[in-house]
Amino acid sequence: MRKLGFWPRFAVILVKPLMKALTRRDWRGFEHIPATGGVILAFNHVSHADPFTAAHYVYDSGRWPEFLAKESVFRIPVAGKILHWCRQIPVFRGTVDAAKALDAAISAVEAGDCVVIYPEGTTTREPDLWPMKGKTGVARLALATGAPVIPVAQDGAQQIFDPRTKKFRLRRVPVSVWAGPPVDLGKWANAEPTRVVLDEMTDEIMRRIGELVGEMRGETPPPIFVPVRAGKGQA
């Protein structure tokens, strides 16, 4: 049984009924999420609404989710404090404090917690909301801890808020979240965290997430999409 403090329980009481009212849920793959021990859940990111559906899924799996989230969110009055009290992890992008997020995530995993990370770093720029190329934080965390990386695909939260149109739709929508078996990263066990190693590990994780999205949609996933800022077109 999870031992949650006041603020995590408060967050559940506040958020879960709203999510149940707004979504028709297709949850699959709980058997792939360890009941105890440090674990990394790597999600695709289709909407600013999907952290709520992801959190709902992880909570229903029996674990407490600890998200890596942009530091700016923690500066929102009241909500930022609650996030801190609920053991979420701020990410200081592009600053000298950027490494603090990785250190905090490593400490959480080593303490036996469930860390949730969006390898893409932001909502996907792929026009049809397929996963795009990920950043290397998830690979760094996996190498540093040796914890299993569980790929988790989600789809449907974009019907609550679509990042392409910036439109909210407050109506009940179908939302799917599926977890798969741990990503096989044995090829890189004990490897040095060079850029090549980190990129290869990240691409493998994103490939597995993309395959799950494909299973969910009944479609063949396209090649990994690379945003123009990070590359040119697709790779």
Model confidence at 20: pLDDT above 50: yes
Which whole-number Å values give the CA distances from 21 to 24, 56, 62, 176, 192, in the listed order?
8, 12, 21, 15, 47
Q: Residue 176 burial (CB < 10 Å; 0-12/13-18/19+)?
A: buried
Question: Helices in the chain by DSSP H: which ranges?
Answer: 6-22, 50-61, 79-85, 98-110, 137-145, 195-217
Res. 98 pLDDT band, cuts 50 70 90: low
Separation CA 46–CA 120 (nearest Å): 10
Separation CA 113–CA 128 (nearest Å): 33
Model confidence at 27: pLDDT above 60: yes
Is-contact 177 54, C-beta < 8 A?
yes
Model confidence at 94: pLDDT above 90: no
- The dihedral formed by the CA atoms of 32, 6, 86 and 75, expressed in degrees to the nearest 10: 160
Is-contact 169 156, C-beta < 8 A?
no
Separation CA 36–CA 31 (nearest Å): 12
Res. 183 pLDDT band, cuts 50 70 90: very high
The pLDDT of 20-27, averaged and rounded, is: 96
Query: Residue 5 has which token pair?
Result: 């403090």
Query: Residue 122 has which token pair?
Result: 């932001």
The vertex-15 CA angle with 59 and 22, nearest 5°, equals 100
Query: Residue 106 has which token pair?
Result: 């490593």
pLDDT at 39: 98
Q: Tell which phi-psi region holds residue 132, choosing left (phi > 0), alpha (psi between -120 and 50) or beta.
A: beta
Which whole-number Å values give the CA distances from 74 to 67, 80, 92, 107, 116, in the listed order?
12, 4, 11, 20, 17
What percentage of the chain exceeds 90 in pLDDT?
A: 75
Q: To the nearest whole number, what is the mean pLDDT of the chain?
A: 91
Specify the residue for token string 């789809």: 155
pTM: 0.91
pLDDT at 233: 40
pLDDT in tens, 123-171: 999 999 999 999 999 999 999 999 999 999 999 999 999 999 999 988 8
The pLDDT of 7-26, averaged and rounded, is: 94
Question: Helices in 78-231 by DSSP H: which ranges?
Answer: 79-85, 98-110, 137-145, 195-217
Segment among 85-99, 100-114, 173-187, 217-231 with least mean pLDDT:
85-99
Domain residue spans of the chain? 38-217
Separation CA 50–CA 156 (nearest Å): 8
Classify domain 38-217 at the CATH superfamily level: Glycerol-3-phosphate (1)-acyltransferase (3.40.1130.10)
